[in-house]
Amino acid sequence: MQWKKDLEKVVRINSFTRNKRGVDATGERFAEWLEALGYRTQRHRRELIGDHLHFLSPRSGKREKILLLGHLDTVFPPGVFEEWREDGEWVYGPGVCDMKGGNVVAIHALRTLFETNGEIGDIDVLLVSDEETGSDDSKMLTTALARDYDKCFVFEAAGPKMEVVVGRKGIGTFEIAIEGKAAHAGTSYAKGIDANLEAAVKLQKLVAMTDLQKGSTVNVGKMEGGIGANTISPQAKLLLELRYADHREKERLMKGLDEVVCTSFVEGSKAVLGGSIQRDVMEPNAWQTKLVEAMERIGGYPLPTESRGGVSDANIVAAAGVVTLDGLGPYGDGDHTPKERALKKSFDERIDLMTKVLLYHQEHGIIG
């Protein structure tokens, strides 16, 4: 199992997002493997986080252009969770499924393709360094690069039945800063403007916008405000997240958020909204269905699909108008915990599938 040896090499490198040295060391390992297959590395250098790496293959002008997408970073800082181990069925360690394992699936499919054909063309690879912290730095780069491609395969972990991901909710993170007026709670109560009370009412209005049947949630995950028990609160803050499964719900939630911010439930209070949509929704569509059906014919077996509430960089590429499938890595669970693991046999299945799909692309110029 050469994939296992390669995976162990990169898993043993700590690549916590803010550990630039470790993320770059992980990137160098992938660069070494891809350059051996004829890829040219375009490095997008960063000072405080790892460099983003765009690996370019020769262009033929005769095939549709494919992007394979992954990320280099993991979530645990040095000294916290850095082990590698295995048993008969599973491998364990940071990134085995999220998503060094997925990157290794892509590498081995490309390696087999290169060994078969002697060359690779029109299939590029992008590995970013900050996905685990929201892709705040790489989002603009990914969006700009994505527009040059016809299809994108993202190698986040597969589902428990080897599902391919066709939908991911959109996500936005916002902060509402509320201004009131301080006053002595005993002697001048009526002169105060209670920012905490305003925050409490706004919180209830926000949470009431949740519609689980439509897949929309609003969560005020943090609130703070006030000075002390004897003072009318002069300020408060709400930190909230909203998630939505389609663009219609995005519009409803954003309109509702604006109305809550602009309405003073406590007379005299004021509020300012900060934050933004972090990743827009990835909605299932007919082009994905056609691509999945083509992959089923090429692979020779059914590919179950699913939508997920969590986000990935697939959201970014899909929002750029590229036909995108996610979940093409191995199956695993426990990601973002010291129990992260990936199923060994799922590596072989995904490598075999993606090898066949990419070989078909090289021979026929198009998938689906």
230-282 tens-digit pLDDT = 999 999 999 999 999 999 999 999 999 999 999 999 999 999 999 999 999 99
Instruction: Compute the average pLDDT of residues 337-348.
Output: 98
Q: Band of the pLDDT at 368, cuts 50, 70, 90?
A: confident
CATH number at residue 164: 3.40.630.10
Quick one: 97 and 178 in the same domain? no
CATH number at residue 203: 3.30.70.360
Quick one: 274 and 285 in the same domain? no
Quick one: 226 and 304 in the same domain? no
Tokens of 283: 């909605």
Look at residue 108 in the predicted model and tell me its pLDDT: 98
Instruction: Compute the average pLDDT of residues 280-294.
Output: 97
Q: What is the pLDDT of residues 92-140, one digit of tens each?
A: 999 999 999 999 999 999 999 999 999 999 999 999 999 999 999 999 9
Write down which residue in 228, 253, 279 finishes a domain.
Answer: 279
Look at residue 320 in the predicted model and tell me its pLDDT: 96
DSSP letter at 145 equals H
Quick one: 35 and 98 in the same domain? yes
How is 67-111 classified by DSSP, letter by letter? EEEEE--BSPPTTTS---EE-SSEEESTTTTTTHHHHHHHHHHHH
- Global confidence as pTM: 0.93
Its domain, for residue 303, covers 2-168+281-364
Quick one: 160 and 30 in the same domain? yes
Separation of alpha carbons 86 and 341, rounded Å:
9
Quick one: 223 and 87 in the same domain? no
**Do 164 and 326 touch, CB atoms closer than 8 A?**
yes
Look at residue 96 in the predicted model and tell me its pLDDT: 98
What rounded mean pLDDT belongs to the chain? 97
Write down which residue in 223, 248, 279 finishes a domain.
Answer: 279
Quick one: 155 and 201 in the same domain? no
Tokens of 200: 């409490």
Instruction: Compute the average pLDDT of residues 53-67.
Output: 97
Look at residue 121 in the predicted model and tell me its pLDDT: 97
Cα-to-chain-centroid distance, residue 298: 27
Quick one: 194 and 145 in the same domain? no
Quick one: 325 and 300 in the same domain? yes
- End-to-end CA distance of the chain: give it in Å, rounded: 31
Look at residue 300 in the predicted model and tell me its pLDDT: 97
| 151 contacts: CB under 8 Å, gap ≥ 6 | 64, 65, 66, 67, 291, 322, 323, 324, 325, 367, 368
**Do 218 and 207 touch, CB atoms closer than 8 A?**
yes
Write down which residue in 264, 279, 294 finishes a domain.
Answer: 279
Quick one: 92 and 26 in the same domain? yes
Residue type, 23: V
Q: What is the pLDDT of residues 160-211, one digit of tens each?
A: 999 999 999 999 999 999 999 999 999 999 999 999 999 999 999 999 999 9
Look at residue 1 in the predicted model and tell me its pLDDT: 77
Quick one: 103 and 247 in the same domain? no
Number of compact structural domains in the chain: 2
Taking Cα atoms as reference points, which of 33, 73, 99, 152 lies closest to residue 330? 99
Look at residue 204 in the predicted model and tell me its pLDDT: 98
Q: What is the pLDDT of residues 297-315, one digit of tens each?
A: 999 999 999 999 999 999 9
Quick one: 46 and 164 in the same domain? yes
